[in-house]
Amino acid sequence: MQRFAGNPLKNVLFAISVSTITCAQPANPSSHTNRYETADIGVNFLGALNGSLTTGNPAQPIPTNTVGGMIEFRFLIHSLVGFEGSYSYRQPNQAALVCPFLPAGSPPEPCPQVSAPPSSTLVQQITGDWIFSKQTPRFTYFALAGLGGIFTSALTGGNGTTDNLAYEYGGGVDWKLKPRLGVRLQYRGDINKVPDISSLSAINAVPYTSGNGWMHTAEPMIGVYYRWF
């Protein structure tokens, strides 16, 4: 300050500069790394375990356990506020079993249980979820719930595509290995309308539909994520 003693204007400019630099410094230099907000992309391997299935119609789909994959984009704002969009793919996992000799409207029993030509299907799903989470230095625990669409396409023994609404729930944990990289373990459950096999299989002439039934699919997953921030 001695060098500016005879120049008040320079003293004022110097004081402003020092104040500006001081204010620009964060109170906690690492505060930007401690904020709750995170955004990441995850890639997962999944197993699709088809469990309970309800349908009162003679046309009976036969889902089988299978495997697939899922990619997800996630953004967490607060422990109670988080969003995710996901796309999943399952390998062919369904065939058709019907009572082709019964007229429309007949009761499901007695049923000769004659199998129609198998209709292998491809299942794709797009879902949006709300996420609740809890962060610790090493782990992030989360639960989710959301809605989506399931699109079932015939691969063999038929043709066509049918789409149904899906209700999704689940939870899991992120294990941080590096500041931006980690392992994700999770479980998801899907509850959705049974695909209409009358439009997917090679039995289109049979006036039966399974579209009024519901099914539950359990999906344990393991994957990795990359975090942008």
What is the band of 227 on the pLDDT scale with cuts at 50, 70, 90?
very high
Report pLDDT for 52: 61
Q: What is the number of alpha carbons within 13 Å of residue 69 lying toward its C-beta?
A: 5
Report pLDDT for 81: 96
Report pLDDT for 201: 56
Q: Higher pLDDT residue, 52 or 134? A: 134
What is the band of 8 on the pLDDT scale with cuts at 50, 70, 90?
low
Cα distance between the two ends of the chain: 43
Q: Higher pLDDT residue, 184 or 123? A: 184
CB 84 within 8 A of CB 74: yes
Q: Higher pLDDT residue, 63 or 149? A: 149
Report pLDDT for 61: 62
Q: Higher pLDDT residue, 60 or 116? A: 60
What is the band of 221 on the pLDDT scale with cuts at 50, 70, 90?
very high
| Arithmetic mean of pLDDT over the chain | 76
Report pLDDT for 83: 97
Q: Is the pLDDT of residue 3 over 90?
A: no
The 8 Å CB, 24+ separation contacts for 173-180 are: 173/139, 173/140, 173/141, 173/142, 174/139, 174/140, 174/142, 174/225, 175/138, 175/139, 176/137, 176/138, 176/139, 176/140, 179/227, 180/226, 180/227, 180/228
What is the band of 152 on the pLDDT scale with cuts at 50, 70, 90?
confident
What is the band of 32 on the pLDDT scale with cuts at 50, 70, 90?
very low
What is the band of 195 on the pLDDT scale with cuts at 50, 70, 90?
confident
What is the band of 142 on the pLDDT scale with cuts at 50, 70, 90?
very high
Average pLDDT over residues 147-158: 79
Summarised one tens digit per residue, pLDDT across range 93-130 is 665 555 544 455 555 554 444 444 445 678 899 999 99
